[in-house]
Structure 1
Amino acid sequence: MLREAITSVTKFYSNLISRTDARVKDYPLMQSPIQMTSILVAYIFFSVYVGPRMMANRKPFGLNRAMITYNLCMVSLNAYIVYEFMMSGWATTFTWRCDLIDPSTSPQALRMVRVAWLFYFSKFIELLDTVFFVLRKKQSQITFLHVFHHSFMPWSWWWGVTLTPAGGMGSFHAMVNAAVHVIMYTYYGLSAAGPRFQKYLWWKKHMTAIQLTQFVLISVHISQYYVMEECYYQFPLWIHLIWMYGFFFFLLFSNFWVQAYIKGNRLPAVDHKPNQNGSTSEHVTIVANGKHHENGHAQHYANGKIVMGKVKKI
C-alpha cells in the first residue's frame, strides 16, 4: 500500500515536471516545487515560532529607514508589474472577456511570461513584511490571515506559472493585485516616514475596502466564463480556482472589516493609567490584519507570551 502510494506520487511529480512550460524552465525557483515549498515552510515556522521567541527578550529594532526604502521599492516594482501586464495584452490585444492562454514564442507572449514570473517572485520579496513585524515586535499583526495570504499566494502561483505562464484571462487577478499593492505600499511608506506624514493617512480604514473591491473585480471578471456561449480556455481548472480564490478571500477580508470597523474588536484600545508621579501613560495595543493595516508607530507591549495574532500577558 505504501509502496503504491509512493509510486503514484513519484509518477505525478515526474509528469508535472515534464509538463513545465519550456519558456519558464530556466527562471529562478521554477525548477521544482520543493524549493519554493521549503522557503514557505521556513517562513511560516519563523513567523509563528522562531521569530517571536528570538525577540521575546530583546528590544524591538528601529527599522524606519529600511522600511521606507523597502516600501518605496515595492511601490516601484508593483507599478512596473502593472505596466508590463498592460503592455503584454491587457491594454493592447486582450478583449477583457475570453482571452486564451498563448503558447507561442511571440514577443508579446514572452513578455507576459516574464511579468507572470516577476509577479510570482515578488510574492517572496513580500515575505519581508512579516520579517519587519517580527523584528519590531509587532506580533499581534501576524494573524492567520496575514500568514495564510503570504504563503498561499506564491505557492499557488508556482503552479500557474509552471503550466500556463502566458495565462490570458487567468492573469487578470495578478494585474489587479499588483495595482492594489501600489496603493498599499504607498500607505506603508508614508506610515513609516514618521508623525509628520500621519495627516496624509486619513484613508487608513479604506485599505480593507480596496482589498474587498479587488476580490469583487476578480470574481466578476472570471465569472464571465460561466455565462459565455463559447470560451475554449485551455485550463478551465484555473478559472474555477481563481473564482474560489476571489470568493474565499472576499469572505476573509469581509470578516476583518466587520470585526475592525463595525464591531470595533480590532481597533486600537487605549488604557489610561496614572503613574506614581500623577502623570498619565497610554498603553496602546493594536490588533490588526497584519498585511493590510498600518506598519504603525503606536506602542506595542510584548512582555508576555506571544501567540498567533495576539499577546497574552502572564
Structure 2
Amino acid sequence: MDAAISIEHPELMVTPWFMIAVLVLYLIFVLRIGPNFMLNRRPYELKTLIIVHNIVQVVSCVYVVYEILHITENHIIYFWKCSALEFVGEKTKRHFKLAYFLFWLKLSELIETIIFVLRKKQNQVTKLHVFHHISTITLIYLLINHNSNGFDALFPIFLNSIIHIIMYSYYLVAAVADKSIIRALTPVKKSITVMQMGQFSLILIHAILTSMNCGVDKAAFIYFIFVIILMFYGFYDFYQISYKSSKRRKSAVVAESAEAAAAVNKTK
C-alpha cells in the first residue's frame, strides 16, 4: 500500500501574488508600454525567437501529453469516469510536478503576445487572445491549489496540449516556409480554429459530467465554466469574422464581376 506523502508547493505558487504581478506587468506592456515603444520604430523580425518559441511549445506539449497518459495509465480518455486525488504514491508526485511545469509553460506562452507587439501586429492582440492567456494561467493555479477532482482535472489540459501540438507546429512551419506554402496551408489554420471550438465543447461536457457524478468545488467550477464558455464564444466569433465574412466577401466580388460581365455583353 502506498504511503501518504506531504505536498509542499513552491512558494511562488502557494499564493496568487506572483501570478497576479506577472499578469499585471504583461497587461501593462502589451496594451500600453509596448505599443508606445513601437510607435515610431520599425517592427522587429524576431524570426529566431519565433522558431525557438514554437519548438519549445511543441516539445513541451508532447511531454505534457506523455505525462498525463502515464499518470492516468491511459484512463484519461474515459473522461466520464471519476478519479480521486489521494496524497499517496509516486503518481501524485508526478501529478504536481506536471502542474508546476504547466504553470511555467503557460507563463512562457505570454511571449507570444510580446512578439506580436514588437512586430507591430497590435491587431492580433485581441481581447480573446489576452483573455485566453490570462485565464489559462489562473486555471493552472487552481489546479495546483484547489483541485479536488483528482486526475479528472487533467482532461482539459490533455485536450488542449494535443491542439497546441498541432497549432504550434503550424506556426513553426509558417515561420520558416515561403509564402506559397503558407497560402497552401490556409485551410489548416481554419481547421485549427474548428478544433479549438471542438475541444471547448468536449471540455464543457466533461465539466458537466464531473459536476454531476464526482462532486466539484462550486466556486472553482463556476469560474471554470465561465472561462470555457467565454473562450468558446470568442473562437466562434473569430471564426465567423475571419472565415465566414471573407467567404461572403469573395461571393460578393464574384457576383459583382458576373454582373459587370453581363452588363458589358449587353452593350455589345
> After TM superposition, is the score higher than 0.5?
yes
CA distance in 2 between counterparts of 1:94 and 1:107 reads 21
Match for 1:72 among 49, 55, 66?
A: 55
Aligned-pair CA distance for 1:216: 0.8
- Provide the residue aligned with 1:252 in structure 2: 234
Structure ranking higher in helix proportion = 2
Contact 2:139 2:224 in 1 (8 A): no
Distance 1:22 1:135, change over 3 A: farther
Distance 1:234 1:216, change over 3 A: closer
Q: Following superposition of structure 1 onto structure 2, how do residues 220-231 of structure 1 map, counting pairs within 5 Å?
A: 220-225=205-210, 227-228=212-213, 231=214
CA distance in 1 between counterparts of 2:148 and 2:13 reads 11
Aligned-pair CA distance for 1:160: 2.6
Contact 2:210 2:216 in 1 (8 A): no
Which amino acid is 1:243 matched to?
I
More divergent stretch after superposition (253-262 vs 153-162): 153-162
Matching of residue 181 in structure 1 with residue 177 in structure 2: no
Encode CA deviations 1:170-217: one digit per residue, 9 max, x unaligned.
221111111111111101101111316423454121121011011011
What SS class does the counterpart of residue 108 from structure 1 fall into? Answer: helix
Aligned-pair CA distance for 1:82: 1.1
Structure ranking higher in strand proportion = 1
Match for 2:224 among 242, 258, 262?
A: 242
More divergent stretch after superposition (148-157 vs 213-222): 148-157
Encode CA deviations 1:25-76: one digit per residue, 9 max, x unaligned.
226x313211110000000010000000111111111111221121011100
Aligned-pair CA distance for 1:240: 3.9
Matching of residue 107 in structure 1 with residue 90 in structure 2: yes
Identity of aligned residues (%): 28
- TM-score when normalising by structure 1: 0.70
Aligned-pair CA distance for 1:132: 0.8
Matching of residue 208 in structure 1 with residue 193 in structure 2: yes
Encode CA deviations 1:251-285: one digit per residue, 9 max, x unaligned.
111111111111239x9xxxxxxxxxxxxxxxxxx
- Provide the residue aligned with 1:62 in structure 2: 45
Which amino acid is 2:192 matched to?
M
CA distance in 1 between counterparts of 2:154 and 2:145 reads 13
Matching of residue 50 in structure 1 with residue 33 in structure 2: yes
CA distance in 1 between counterparts of 2:148 and 2:52 reads 30
* Residues matched between the structures, number: 243
What SS class does the counterpart of residue 209 from structure 1 fall into? Answer: helix
Contact 1:180 1:211 in 2 (8 A): yes
